[in-house]
Amino acid sequence: GAVVSQHPSRVICKSGTSVKIECRSLDFQATTMFWYRQFPKQSLMLMATSNEGSKATYEQGVEKDKFLINHASLTLSTLTVTSAHPEDSSFYICSARTGYNYGYTFGSGTRLTVV
């Protein structure tokens, strides 16, 4: 089946630094990928929709200059958290829409801790 690989699984960074998270579709092409954020004991909140070759579409309240999304190929989307602060600490999850059953495959998530 379709596999989405997300890397790294865990990252700790200092306040003010930037962190890049990668999301790869391993055995299919993904023209559209989605980035979610999940705080403890809460549901997944969609941050942005990443479209190959074009600008990402951000959800209301998500700072596009802080969360940079690049979808330069059909198999790779990246999320860069710039000038990270402790309140950015969260679980970040990517997903891609597969052709199978119009379903969505999710990455395993990235636990970001900003200290």
Partner 1 sequence: DAKTTQPTSMDCAEGRAANLPCNHSTISGNEYVYWYRQIHSQGPQYIIHGLKNNETNEMASLIITEDRKSSTLILPHATLRDTAVYYCIVRGQTTGANSKLTFGKGITLSVRP
| Of 57, 70, 80, 89, the one binding partner 1 by CB under 8 A | 57
Judged by CB under 8 A, how many residues of this single chain contact partner 1? Answer: 27
- Binding of partner 1 by 112 (CB under 8 A): no
Smallest distance, partner 1 to C-beta of residue 30, A:
12
Residues 6+ positions from 80 with CB-CB distance below 8 Å = 18, 19, 20, 21, 67, 68, 69, 70
Segment lying near partner 1 (by CB under 8 A), choices 11-19, 36-44, 70-78, 80-88: 36-44
Q: Which helix (H) or strand (E) holds 34?
A: strand 32-38
